[in-house]
Amino acid sequence: ANPLGSTGPAAPVNINTAGVDELETLPRIGPVLAERIVQWRAAHGAFTRPEDLDAVPGIGEAMLAALLPLVSV
């Protein structure tokens, strides 16, 4: 577990292994969106690149742009 402040994650969050709690450390990701990411991954398999987050309902272009520097696969 990372000691996380309000500035966001210290290291990129792996969107293929992160649980709901870890995903919620990302800006603009709340419990509903975190759950959608986990459910999308369960239904479709691992993300192949961070840009694939745009396939998750509720993640648009602006949010994706904000998240890309903070996530990895």
Which domains, ranges and CATH numbers included, belong to the chain?
Answer: 13-72 (1.10.150.320)
Q: Give residue-wise pLDDT tens across range 34-70.
A: 999 999 999 999 999 999 999 999 999 999 999 999 9
Among the listed residues 31, 32, 21, 29, the one whose alpha carbon sits nearest the alpha carbon of residue 70:
29
Whether the predicted model's global pTM rises above the 0.75 cut = yes
pLDDT at 17: 97
Contact residues for 56 (Cβ-Cβ < 8 A; gap 6+) = 33, 36, 37, 40
